[in-house]
Amino acid sequence: MLSGAPGELLGSPGDGERTGERTVGRLLDRALVGLCALQVGVAEEALRITAAYTSTRHQFGKPLSTFQGVALKAGDAYIDTEAMRATMWQAAWRLAEGLDATTEVMVAKWWAAEGGQRVVHITQHLHGGIGADIDYPVHRYFLWGKQIEVTLGGATQQLARLGGAIAAGAR
């Protein structure tokens, strides 16, 4: 019923409230994984733009990218991006295989929200004042990342959902 074939129904009339809840849950999981994938792309491109900028912008006769503080921040953003990617692929794989992916989806969305906001903040910060200019490309990635962060629940909401699911499973 939810294979995605054209013309296929998501549910049948009279399936009942419980089936409807499951259908909405499946749709929500897929929407969340889609947002996670989008956030990976946003973070990746913001980081690419930042790497190019810090490699060509010089201060004290050296590229900004050679300064330890810049390299550490960029490294943190890279690690967050890869964590978002790994958790997104785990959730997407479980969904594609028809396995229960509820926990994996919540973890992936938490990473997309928490890690994503860190990446866009770091990339904007490493651009200095120009990063806050609304005409500069990195600002658009900042806004996009912030919007994805809160769409369908931010990091706090995902942790609350995950905690509720873990508690329900323990009962």
Domain ranges of the chain: 33-170
The pLDDT value recorded for residue 1 is 43
Alpha-carbon gap, residue 65 to 7, rounded angstroms: 52
Per-residue pLDDT for 121 more than 60? yes
Alpha-carbon gap, residue 83 to 116, rounded angstroms: 10
Question: Is 50 within 8 Å of 126 (Cβ atoms)?
Answer: yes
Question: CA dihedral in degrees (1, 32, 44, 68; nearest 10)?
Answer: -150
pTM > 0.85? yes
Reported as a pLDDT band with limits 50, 70 and 90, residue 16 is low
Q: Write the CATH number of the domain with boundaries 33-170.
A: 1.20.140.10
Is 127 or 129 the better-scoring residue by pLDDT? 127
User: At residue 50, what is the residue type?
Assistant: T
The pLDDT value recorded for residue 6 is 59
Helix-helix angle 137-150:17-56, to 10 degrees: 160
Query: What pLDDT digit, counting tens, does each position of 30-59 carry?
Result: 999 999 999 999 999 999 999 999 999 999
Query: What pLDDT digit, counting tens, does each position of 81-119 carry?
Result: 999 999 999 999 999 999 999 999 999 999 999 999 999
